[in-house]
Amino acid sequence: MRIVHAIAFAGRRSYGLGAVAGNLLAEQLKAGLDASIWCLDSVAEAVEARRDYSLPPDVLRCFQSSGPRSLGFSIGMERAARNPASADIDIFHQHGIWTGVSHVVSRWARRHHRPTIIAPHGALAPWALQRSRWKKRLAMAGYERTNFRNASCFQATSSLEYLHFREYGIRCPIACIPNGVRDEWLASSGDGSRFRANHQLPSDRRLLLYMGRITPVKNLIALMEAWAMAGSLTRDWILVLAGAPEFGYEVELRDRIQQLGIGTAVRAVGSIHGQDKRDAYAAAEAFVLPSLSEGFGMVILEAIATGIPALTTTGAAWERLPAEGCGWRVPPDVAGLTHGLGELLAASSDELAAMGCRARRIAERDFAWCTVREQTSKVYHWLRHGGTPPAYVLLD
């Protein structure tokens, strides 16, 4: 069976979306599957992506963008999908929506009468739908409605995302398959002292880590206000913000930090990768993701896999954190975040370490990429050959 993962960008500019496709592809290759990625990354970005996901050079097929890169259109990719050779592809697995890649996948499905899977990865959440509404309306009218109609199956990474799909009006089968964590990440180790030295962080302060885009949906201003409300509980802590800025949100965030007078307790370190990223998790005693909306929350999985507990919100489908004693899940407002921070910051290092051990066991037990690959392969086989769908495929 030949599988193509279609995505606008597979490299670091994908803000985590590429990591899902890249890591799933790597696991499929380990199992001997004939799989590849079609994307619009530059040569340099592709080299970086192959290194990040340990991929051989021939499985990442890069096409040149046609027009603004953000729109994700490529005449070359369109031609490749129309080429008679593309009839040998059994499944197109699309990651992300609202770009020209959707047009490619839709036209391929109509031309060759083969199944497609669409994984929006949070793009159909109510909050996400409010962003750039006119662009999404144009995309829906131009190609996305047809793409949705042609799709054989959608993939939801959580129960919350499944509900978002049905609320939006998706009526085709939905496979509920989470994202995974790499064996290499589970086996890796970090040096917290090195991270502190590299970013000039004091050795006598406990670290709470945020990792992700510096963008409105992450709700960081509410986190800053909750941090200020926590008062004396933050005395021994520093809140580290790691991530790339987006939409100019960092200016608004910086201004609010100054207004609140918490600049000495909050440190932005920019976008970090590789060993520096692993060192950041090693330095932190806990992780926080205050998002208004998350399709899955990959960084939460990364964090708990390193053995630290996490605080997140009801905007992320991580109900199991408090249920299994390895974190907190609170409303995404200042009051909710203040309550969660109060409990986290008051916990001793030993208490947080015990929660972190429970968190890591969850990552090891339930989120291995080999399990995700097996579940995905069963969906592929069902879509291509028929029969009884897997139990995690919901038909209504």
Tens-digit pLDDT profile for residues 148-204: 999 999 999 999 999 999 999 999 999 999 999 988 899 999 999 999 999 999 999
* 38, 5 contact by CB (below 8 A): yes
Those residues with Cβ within 8 angstroms of residue 123's Cβ, 6 or more apart along the chain or in another chain: 96, 97, 98, 295
3-class DSSP state for residue 239?
strand
The Cβ-side half-sphere exposure at 12, using a 13 Å CA radius, reads: 15
Rounded distance, CA 309 to CA 287, Å?
6
β-bridge partners, 118: 94, 154
d(CA 140, CA 149): 11
Measured distance CA(183)–CA(117) in Å, rounded? 25
**What average pLDDT does this structure show over 248-254?**
95
Q: Please say if the pLDDT value at position 15 is more than 80.
A: no
- Across residues 2-18, what is the average pLDDT? 90
Q: How far apart are CA 83 and CA 85, in angstroms?
A: 5
Mean confidence (pLDDT) of the chain: 95
Indicate the DSSP class of residue 389: P
d(CA 344, CA 177): 30
Query: What is the pLDDT, as a whole number, of residue 250?
Result: 94
Give the pLDDT of residue 209: 98
- 183-366 to CATH, choices 3.40.50.2000, 3.40.50.300, 1.10.3720.10, 3.10.129.10: 3.40.50.2000
pLDDT band with cut points at 50, 70 and 90 for residue 90? very high
What pairing do the DSSP bridges indicate for beta strands 91-95 and 237-242? Answer: unpaired
Locate the domains of the chain by residue range. Answer: 2-180+368-394, 183-366
| Percentage above 70 pLDDT, the chain | 100
pTM of the predicted model as reported, rounded to 2 decimal places: 0.88
252: which 2 tokens? Answer: 């608004």
Return the closest-CA partner of residue 97 out of 71, 134, 59.
71
Q: Which two tokens stand for residue 362?
A: 């969850």
- Dist. CA 341–CA 363, nearest whole Å: 23
CATH of 2-180+368-394, one of 3.40.50.300, 1.20.1250.20, 3.40.309.10, 3.40.50.2000: 3.40.50.2000
Amino acid letter, residue 359 = A
Same fold: 2-180+368-394 with 183-366: yes
